Amino acid sequence: RRDLLLGLPALGLGAFALGGCAQAGATTDVENVLSISLNQTESHPSFSALSFFGEQLAEATEGRWGARVYANESLGAQQEVVQLVSDGAVDMAVISSTQVENLSMDFRPLNLPGAFESIDHQLAVLSDESIVGELFASLEPTHRLRVLGGFTQGSRHVYTDRGPIEGPEDLAGLKIRVQESDVFMALMRALGGSPTPMAYGEVYTALQAGVLNGAENNEVSYVTQRHYEIAPYFTLTNHLVGLDYVMANVDRIEEMDEADQQAYADTFAAAQEEFVRLWIAETDASTQQMLDAGVEINEPDPEAFGPAIEEVGRTFLESAEDEGMYRAVQAVAESMGEENA
């Protein structure tokens, strides 16, 4: 895949998409088209928000800059793509926080269960420069990567080909796909299942082949990836509120003049707001689709999984720096609680 991509400048990256779903997510008639890699389908809110970003960017820069979103892992799975963005072969990508942790452990405190209490809490942390400012800039000197911001993954839950799942004993011996991450491996063990790390785009086929008995994700991914067709037992484990980062190659951004760089940042901020609006609507719509499709949604006793999940959060706080960041994140939740009181 990498060889293919490195050959692309000669072809023009645009030509790459023409075979498939030609214009989806594209901005037409712009001078410079940024390539954005996404592992989701075109019905996912990330696709819509990034397509909106491309259109708005073209407008704001009077056609000097735009973007095209390559959906369905067509440029590669996240673990490879993050490297392609770092190398400048791809301009931007949505990368799950688990993969970013594989580049820098400084991101880990934000990946732990218990870090974010809710989507609102996560959004408040993402806009708190004192917590994320240095962190988000830290990959620039080492990897040429800039974190533009985040798209929430909402609450993640476990789903299986059998059920109902009431507690860890019901997951014993079941092979459950997790993201390629130590935290997720440990988390799945704590939940009682056998963790099987795998790229997102391979899960459907692995479920179908019986290599997996289940996976864990949010309602929107469960529905857009059609995992419910094979694993129709959805257990509200609420094990954590996940986060996707939108990352860009810094050298590519710096090709823009100053005014266009400002337009780029402002347009991204608008796309992030658009994403939140879409996310909330799509989570509700997905839940409805699940019910319509006959998915069995089970809400186990919070005590069944809760203490084991919390324990994983504590185990992975290894250094004083990590603890400091984790505490700063908790403090945001506390101050939100006080405001609402």
Query: Contact between 39 and ligand GCU (CB under 6 A)?
Result: yes
Contact positions with ligand GCU (CB under 6 A) in 70-99: 78, 94, 96
Considering the complex, state which of residue 39 and residue 51 has its C-beta at the smaller distance from ligand GCU.
39
Pairwise CA distance, residues 59 & 56, whole Å: 5
Pairwise CA distance, residues 39 & 22, whole Å: 17
Pairwise CA distance, residues 293 & 290, whole Å: 5
Which of 48, 86, 111, 217 contacts ligand GCU by CB under 6 A?
217
Residue 218 per-residue DSSP state = -
92 close to 37: Cβ distance less than 8 angstroms: yes
Range list of β-strands (E), 194-232:
194-197, 214-217
Please report how close the Cβ of residue 78 comes to ligand GCU at its closest, in angstroms. Answer: 5
Give the torsion through C-alpha atoms of 204, 208, 213, 218, to 10 deg.
30
Query: Contact between 244 and ligand GCU (CB under 6 A)?
Result: yes
Q: How many residues of this chain interact with ligand GCU, rule: CB under 6 A?
A: 10
Please report how close the Cβ of residue 215 comes to ligand GCU at its closest, in angstroms. Answer: 7
In which region does residue 192 sit, left (phi positive, over 0), alpha (psi from -120 to 50) or beta (all else)?
left
Considering the complex, state which of residue 61 and residue 225 has its C-beta at the smaller distance from ligand GCU.
225
Which of 53, 70, 107, 200 contacts ligand GCU by CB under 6 A?
200
Please report how close the Cβ of residue 240 comes to ligand GCU at its closest, in angstroms. Answer: 11
Site track for ligand GCU across 219-238, x = CB under 6 A: --x-----------------
Closest CA to 254 of 265, 245, 246, 244: 265
Query: Contact between 279 and ligand GCU (CB under 6 A)?
Result: no
Considering the complex, state which of residue 1 and residue 314 has its C-beta at the smaller distance from ligand GCU.
1
For tokens 């839950």, name the residue. Answer: 157
